[in-house]
Amino acid sequence: MRIGRRTITVAGTFFLAAATGHVMQSGFLVGKRLTSAGPGMVVGELTQASLISADGDSDPTPALPADDLAAVRQSVPDFPELPGLEPMALSSGIRLASRMDDIQSDVSWPETAANLEYDNFGQPCTAPKLALALSAPAMIDVTVMAACHANERIVISHAGISFAGTTDEKGHYHAVVPAMTGKGEITAQLGPDLSLRDYRTVPDIGWVNRLALVQRGQNGLHLNAFIGDAEFGSDMHLRPENTGAASTGSGGYLTVLGDAALDRPIVTEVVTFPASQPAPRLQVVADVTDKTCGRDLLGSTLRTASASGPTMGGLSLAVPGCDSVGERVVLDMERADAAVALASSSAQQQQSAATAAVSE
């Protein structure tokens, strides 16, 4: 009995292996039939594949005549074109918030991380700050820190002078401004809505005298100052290319404020000289270029002296035509002041004469 069971087990195993080989071989032929059907054909070819018979006959015989195979084969249909998709803003939350505000407007919503604004470095924005410090002689150190106003236009104003610049990638801006009054008030304007203001009392304002020239737009006016008997182009000839040293013991120096490369530039130049020394010879100059020729260049001046407050005035300089490109126009401030004083005196005399004629 044991031998018979072993014999049956072995025979059954052999039969199972033979059946497995039959299925594997048949599957291979079916797959070959499917791949040979070519593109665009579907299951119709599968229905015509016949498995290898158990007696070893490997010739597949179609169940349908060859003429009917074309009717069974079907082409893959063309899929329709899908509509174009574009990303849309998720506005449901905004609409819900506006509806809730209309329903109950006195609700104070909690401040969360989703409500915060972030700077260029992914840090939450902090409140903008204006920091002022004093340095000699009568200079105001200005620092603006506005992290969420990076690379923005900024305008600094003080006692009648102003200049424009740009904050850096951290929202910082720094300048050293010559004080024109003893109060030392500074205003920093960032955009139409943000204005920062502070002041520092300047105790040494009486040590220096100053002349400032303010320009708005692409003008091209500049200040020149000749200390003592300085000649043109010497070290004591102060100009934008040679500003001098901003120290108490120097004979004078020039400060240039603002960025002339901006779209709407505001540039200020300030000449500083000690009040205890004779005033330098001051000039306003303009180079005749293809951008300035044939134009009237406009600016404003602000003069301060230790014995009096700042005095403001307008300035207009007529530049020759473009056939004079390469030349330079010079306005001597002493002569200009004398001309202004003469014109003012003449106007007062005419007004007095007119008043006397009316009274008679």
- For 256, list phi and psi in degrees, rounded to 5: -110, 125
**pLDDT of 288-304, one tens digit each?**
999 999 999 999 999 99
Q: Give percent helix, percent strand, percent coil of the chain, each to the nearest 5.
A: 25, 30, 40
71-80, 213-222, 328-337, 347-356: least confidently modelled range: 347-356
Reading the block at residue 243, the tokens are 């500003």
Instruction: Assess contact for 284 and 318: CB atoms under 8 A.
Output: no
CA separation, residue 66 to residues 45, 46, 75, 202, 297 (Å): 11, 14, 18, 109, 98
Interatomic CA distance for residues 188 and 232, integer angstroms? 37
Could you read off the pLDDT of 127-182 as tens digits, one per residue? 999 999 999 899 999 999 999 999 999 999 999 999 999 999 999 999 999 999 99
**Which residues are paired to 131 by β-bridges?**
143
pLDDT for the residue 32: 47
Name the residue with higher pLDDT: 84 or 317: 317
Percent of the chain with pLDDT over 90: 43
> Distance of CA 142 to CAs 134, 175, 179, 272, Å?
9, 5, 11, 18
Residue 8 has a pLDDT of 44
User: Of 302, 332, 300, 330, whose CA–CA distance to 318 is shortest?
Assistant: 330
Strands of the 161-166 sheet, one edge to the other: 161-166, 153-158, 185-190, 194-199
pLDDT of residue 70: 55
How far is residue 326 CA from its own chain's centroid?
35
User: Which residues are CB-contacts of 282 (< 8 A; sequence separation ≥ 6)?
Assistant: 211, 223, 224, 225, 271, 332, 333, 334
Would you list the DSSP string of 148-182?
A: TSTT-EEEEEETTEEEEEE--TTSEEEEEEE-SSS
To the nearest whole number, what is the mean pLDDT of the chain?
76
- Tell me: pLDDT of 260 over 80: yes
Asked if the model's pLDDT at residue 270 lies above 50, the reply is: yes
Q: What pLDDT score does 15 carry?
A: 44
Confidence of residue 17 (pLDDT cuts 50, 70, 90): very low
* 212 closest CA partner among 260, 272, 279: 272
Residue 46 pLDDT exceeds 50: no
Identify the residue with better confidence: 327 or 357.
327
Q: What is the mean pLDDT of residues 244-263?
A: 83
**Where would I find the H helices in the chain?**
2-35, 66-72, 92-103, 333-359
* CB-based contact 304:181 (threshold 8 Å): yes
Residue 80 pLDDT grade (very low, low, confident, very high; cuts 50, 70, 90): confident
The pairs formed by 48-54 with CB atoms below 8 angstroms and a separation of 24 or more are 48/72, 51/22, 51/26, 52/22, 52/25, 52/26, 54/22
pLDDT over 50 at 35, yes or no: no
pLDDT of 268: 97
With a cut of 80, say whether residue 28 has pLDDT above it: no
pLDDT digits (tens, 9 = 90+) for 272-283: 999 988 889 999
Query: What pLDDT sits at residue 76?
Result: 54
Omega before 137 within 30 of 0, i.e. cis: yes
Region 191-201: what's the mean pLDDT? 94
201 close to 188: Cβ distance less than 8 angstroms: no
DSSP-derived secondary structure letter, 135: E
